[in-house]
Amino acid sequence: MKIIFNLLLSLMFIFQLSSSALSQDQFEGSKNGRIRAVNPLYDLRVTNFQPVPNSSTGFNEVFFDFLIYHTNPGDSGPFEFASGRYALYVDPSVANGGTLTYSIVPNSTQFTNPNAVPVNPAVVGNELRLQRNPNLGAGNGPIVSAIYPGTRIVTVKLSTTAPTFDTDNFTLTWINPNGGDSYTEVYGYIDGVSTNLSNNSTLIIDSSQSVLPVELSGFSADINKNNVSLKWSTSTESNNSGFEIERNVSGNMSSEAWTKAGFVNGNGTSASTSNYSFSDRGLSTGIYKYRLKQIDYNGNYQYYDLQSEVVIGAPTEFSLKQNYPNPFNPTTKISFDIKNDAFVSMKLFDINGREIKTLVNEFKNSGYYSIDLDASELSSGAYLYRIESGNFVSTKKLVVLR
């Protein structure tokens, strides 16, 4: 019995030591019955620079965003924001002889609690300052998004009274937490307690060195059935690698919804007008948005949005297109238009009319369609493809060339 008693005492002693070690060294507390292993980590980013041209020679206003992104949600749980202030070094000569002003764009925050927005934007010497918002109180702080690129804290505007900025000196640098007169810091609630998380951050500046590599003077779209022709012009270019054309269907504006449609090379550095174009062909019926992602040789980029939507309507007639390329080896594309919702059958025949394979055999909604034909198993020679949909029948010839 004495042995059992001593064993129990030993186990209790070990358990107390383990519990004490866990609570002091590994865990910072618990919330809702769940033990929190680590504090939230985050990226703080200055990005999305949008200059506003003032003349053909430059710009004197630029908008940019402050974003915060929760980087370790699986370890820390939700990041409830408490307060923050944000400070940047700026080269005063960027004002180009004018006076710099710094302001917050109203209603630009993505925080659910507008009181999380910093206050009193100011230019003080070589610093841009956004002062700390009032502490929100546990349970009132917005949750910082763990979905890249995070939550927009606020959009700001920097401007000069001069006709244009001195873009050669347009550089911004974060002021790290240093205990000085002004610096960047972020607080979050950890188990209901406002906690300084400033040292848990990664501070990033996007595209600060080249704010206006390209001045766009026009961006338009022409529609021909289900083909879109984009045209744009630049009045000046600096270090311009080119334009990535991005497409968005059905008005979904999330970052994941944009897809690359193509790329057009830029003209590097140019002081004269340059004209560009891009054709986006064979689109399905729908509503599209387009934007240009201009990229310079340093990897910096900015977006230019096409202001109007592109609407691809339903076809006005049934149609079967000639395959392209033709002749081909081994693949080709066959396009067809369906005026009304209908059952569609398309088959491939040899030149003597013997059926080779079925290409389409299903109900289709009104719209524009295309299929890829792989002729790897076919011999060289001429073939026929035939479509039937209601009263519409059409046949065309294609050639396999080995």
Domain of residue 225, CATH code? 2.60.40.10
Residue 15 within any structural domain of the chain: no
Are 117 and 33 in a shared domain?
yes
Strand partners, 31: 34
Are 150 and 166 in a shared domain?
yes
**Domain tally, the chain:** 3
Asked whether residue 145 carries a pLDDT value surpassing 90, the answer given is: yes
Strands 201-205, 42-55: pairing is: parallel
**267-279 pLDDT, tens per residue?**
887 778 899 999 9
Residue 17 within any structural domain of the chain: no
pLDDT at 252: 57
Asked if 211 and 237 count as a contact pair (C-beta separation under 8 A), the reply is no
Dihedral of the CA atoms 310, 243, 168, 103 (nearest 10)? 30
pLDDT at 45: 93
Distances in Å between the alpha carbon of 155 and those of 44, 104, 108? 14, 6, 6
Asked whether residue 1 carries a pLDDT value surpassing 60, the answer given is: no
Are 37 and 80 in a shared domain?
yes
Residue 11 within any structural domain of the chain: no
Average pLDDT over residues 333-346: 94
Asked whether residue 181 carries a pLDDT value surpassing 80, the answer given is: no
pLDDT at 284: 87
Residue 59: closest CA among 242, 211, 205: 211
Residue 8 within any structural domain of the chain: no
d(CA 322, CA 361): 19
Residue 242 within any structural domain of the chain: yes
Out of 162, 178, 205, pick the residue that ends a domain. Answer: 205
pLDDT at 106: 94
Asked whether residue 180 carries a pLDDT value surpassing 70, the answer given is: no
Are 147 and 105 in a shared domain?
yes
User: What share of the chain has pLDDT > 70, as a percent?
Assistant: 84
**16-33 pLDDT, tens per residue?**
444 433 333 333 444 444
Stronger pLDDT, 1 or 148, i.e. the higher one: 148
Average pLDDT over residues 286-301: 84
Q: Where are the alpha helices (DSSP H) in 192-265?
A: none
Are 249 and 345 in a shared domain?
no
d(CA 400, CA 328): 5
Question: What pTM did the predictor assign?
Answer: 0.49
d(CA 242, CA 213): 11
Residue 48 within any structural domain of the chain: yes
Asked whether residue 78 carries a pLDDT value surpassing 50, the answer given is: yes
Are 218 and 130 in a shared domain?
no
Are 145 and 95 in a shared domain?
yes
Q: Within 13 Å and on the Cβ side, how many CA atoms surround 35?
A: 8
Stronger pLDDT, 52 or 210, i.e. the higher one: 52
d(CA 109, CA 284): 35
Asked whether residue 102 carries a pLDDT value surpassing 80, the answer given is: yes
pLDDT at 218: 87
Asked if 344 and 359 count as a contact pair (C-beta separation under 8 A), the reply is no
Q: Within 13 Å and on the Cβ side, how many CA atoms surround 120?
A: 8
Out of 278, 296, 312, pick the residue that ends a domain. Answer: 312
3-class state of residue 107 by DSSP: coil
Q: Within 13 Å and on the Cβ side, how many CA atoms surround 276?
A: 24
Residue 304 within any structural domain of the chain: yes
Strand partners, 292: 245, 304
Are 195 and 235 in a shared domain?
no
Out of 312, 339, 362, pick the residue that ends a domain. Answer: 312
Are 236 and 300 in a shared domain?
yes
CATH number at residue 116: 2.60.40
Q: Determine the distance from the C-alpha atom of residue 377 to the mean position of all C-alpha atoms in its chain, rounded to a whole number.
A: 42
CATH number at residue 357: 2.60.40.1930
Residue 371 within any structural domain of the chain: yes
| Domain around 256 | 214-312
Distance linking the first and last C-alpha atoms of the chain: 92
